[in-house]
Structure 1
Amino acid sequence: MDSPSVRSRAISSALRLGVRPLLNYLPGHTTGIRTARSTVDAASLLMRPCSGVRIEGLNERLDEKGGDHPVKGEWVAPRDAPEGPPDGAVLYLHGGGYVACSPRTHRPITSRLAHDTGLPVLAARYRLAPEHPFPAPLEDAVAAYRWLLARGVPASGIVVAGDSAGGHLAAVLAGELCRLDLPSPAGLALFSPWVDLTCELSIQAQDRARDPYISAASARRVARLVVGPAGFDDPRLALLTCAWTDSPPVLIQVGGAEVLRTECEAFADALKRAGAACELQVWKGQMHVFQILNRVLPEAGEAMRDAARFICAVTHHASPGRIEAA
């Protein structure tokens, strides 16, 4: 990828000076997490979603064997989408370290995906740690996927996407669907996925990376809250040692300056060794989940267009002709 733009360098510098010290302090205790949540929610009000979409709240129950499960989130759809069940959709799982953020904070990404692909996006609201450690987020993600299937969306038309912790959850979901004998999605689109919750690779890469606002040490503190009393022993958490022989096509986008870059490269290698179709894009000089700034950064807009093309290709969904123009 080309050298980062002037805007990208300026924003990265501002984050390194103003946000990284705060994030390094806050995670690890309840008061800090509450502060982080309220700060992120307030900041999200300044980030407008893409135009040309409608956003509807979702709060339904999914009838399952042994009871029902709440499915919450947002339904983000193009305003010109036809009536009736869609032939495809994106299930989006937001980032935030499994402890913060929501579908609303990630509207710049979900609305852009809906606009560029012409497909509706189900932005799932999953339960957060430390109140609800793993596997609670996975249970909610499975319920959201089942909800799409129950409403007539074929698995061959579904792409599961996510960023950071949501990228980890998207990949874990793909493996869980196989274990549950549910149909596999058409593809996975992962933005800066947090691949290794033990953070062993990112700790090794810490000295070489110039990540503007994430440190491996703070990520490790958050991870301990995510896994809860069970620790890191749940095999579903370990993406690098899973069998990916039946994986759908995968797109991974990661910033070149990220401390998580090494994890993403290792994950791409594991997928390719298993015979999966995986495209790894390393965006030179870019920060963690730079795609959320797609209305500001030219690199982010280009990355979102690439993601939209991938989604349309694996779902065999005709592009609405807005990818290049957006």
Structure 2
Amino acid sequence: MDTRLPPDVTPLPLAEAAPRAGLPYDRRPSIRSRAISRTLRLGFYPIIHHAPGHARGIRTARSGVDAASLLLRHSQRVLIKQLADPQVEQGGLERPVRGEWVLTREGERTARGAILYLHGGGYVVCSPRTHRPITSRLALDTGLPVLVPRYRLAPEHPFPAPLEDAVAAYRWLLARGVPASGIVIAGDSAGGHLAAALTGEICRTGLPRPAGTVLFSPWVDLTCELSTRSRARDPYISATAARRVARLVVGPAGFDDPRLALLASPWTDTPPMLIQVGGAEVLRADAEALHRALTEGGNDCRLQVWKGQMHVFQILNRVLPEASAAMRETARFVARVVSAEPAAPQAEAVA
């Protein structure tokens, strides 16, 4: 199957994508935001741009990312519970579900649903721990427990292995009494691609539809045709590095799996979606193209382009006012789409 972008899929003009004046995502970037962006541009971007495209370098990068994640502290007002369920009662029909629960003390007792969060990292690095600044804030702002699967990573496990693990986690929630009307799927960057692919797979296979989907800076086009056309000076992510990594993600099968090609998917009757993307990031065109595909299919999709912000700026919600505001916008979206029916998921750790 040819998964190249159709010739008419191009970034939206800036005027067409610009949000209305006075909204939080249309404000001039704060001094702190501009300072962090400059620092990353000078010190971190060169490292990302020359990220390795081979397995040994990826393993080294994982160690570095895990160590760096210790510098991004998450809120101490949440509980972290490890999850490791081999699902032996399913007779080998379901994949094991591993990861962690992030929840508040109150949410553990009164939750009416759950957020299934799929972390980013180019499908090759990061883990539930690296994204606790986002997942802990989601738990605090929404009152919902957040399940973060430890899905398999490339190059050892190319696509569709991550999607299989995401589907298993969604089915795990359903099997433990969480109604689909109380589940919100969310993810950032490659996890945004995975969250969108999971939503499409749920609709395609007839599983109960979730309440909504949230995408932070989604990596929509793994061929990187859109991002390499972009003129954005993203202080963090490099389109060149993304293209190198994408070859590891797809593995020997290449880009022929139709589940990779989000822009070619028949987007009909999807749950409501919220897409947040930084105005200065190289994946802005990806987010705009997906928003257009969803709205042209008659779906409820809201796009927020946060002026001057970088890739997955939400992870800095403890230091950036714009990131904190973006998380509040996300919480309002979750509150709108989640069913009010009480349903308490089993958040106990499984040995």
Q: Which residue of 2 aligns with 1:42?
A: 67
1:1-326 matched pairs, under 5 angstroms? 1-62=26-87, 63-64=89-90, 66-83=92-109, 86-205=111-230, 208-317=231-340
- Secondary structure of 1:228's counterpart equals helix
Mapped partners of 2:248, 2:326: distance in 1 = 31
Summarize deviations over 1:268-296 as a string: whole Å, max 9, x none. Answer: 00000001101100001100000000000
| Structure 2 residue matching 1:87: 3-state secondary structure | coil
Decide which moves more: 128-137 or 52-61: 52-61
Q: 2-side partners of 1:27 and 1:290: how far apart? A: 23
Q: How many matched pairs?
A: 315
User: Which stretch shows the higher mean deviation, 17-26 or 139-148?
Assistant: 17-26
Tell me, what secondary structure is at the counterpart of 1:106?
helix
Q: Which amino acid aligns with 1:54?
A: L
Q: Deviations over 1:276-318 (max 9, x none)?
A: 1011000011000000000000000000000011011100449
- Under a length normalisation based on structure 2, what TM-score does the superposition of the two structures give? 0.87
**In structure 1, distance between residues paired with 2:37 and 2:203:** 39
Q: How much does 1:64 deviate?
A: 4.1
Q: CA deviation at 1:150?
A: 0.9
Q: Which is bigger in relative contact order (C-alpha 8 A, separation at least 6)?
A: 2
Q: Distance in 1 between matches of 2:60 and 2:284?
A: 27
Distance change in 2, residues 1:74/1:210 (3 Å): same
CA-CA distance at 1:35 after TM superposition: 2.0
SS of residue matched to 2:314:
helix
TM-score normalised by structure 1 residue count: 0.94
Which amino acid in the other structure matches residue 80 of structure 1?
E
Q: What CA distance in whole angstroms lies between the structure 1 residues aligned with 2:279 and 2:264?
A: 24
CA distance in structure 1 between the aligned counterparts of 2:315 and 2:31, rounded to whole angstroms: 17
- Aligned counterparts of 2:56 and 2:44: Cα–Cα separation in 1: 17
Aligned letter for 1:233? D
Paired amino acid for 1:304 = M
Residues 208-229 of structure 1: CA deviation (Å, up to 9, x unaligned): 2010021211101100100000
Q: Which runs of 5 or more residues in structure 2 are unaligned?
A: 1-25, 342-351
Alpha-carbon displacement from aligned partner over 1:17-46 (angstroms, at most 9, x marks no partner): 111111121230123212211111011111
Cα distance in structure 2, aligned partners of 1:186 and 1:223: 30
In the TM superposition, what whole-angstrom CA distance separates every residue of 1:87-146 from its partner, at most 9, and x where no partner exists? 210000000000000000000000000000000000111000000000000010001001
Task: Report what 1:323 is aligned to.
Answer: none
Deviates further, 75-84 or 247-256: 75-84
Between the aligned partners of 1:133 and 1:64, the Cα distance in structure 2 is 25
Does structure 1 retain, via aligned residues, the 8 Å contact 2:94–2:168?
A: no
The structure 1 segments of at least 4 consecutive aligned residues displaced by more than 6 Å after TM superposition are: none
DSSP-derived class of the 2:106 partner? coil
Deviation for aligned residue 1:202 = 0.7
AA matched with 1:239: L
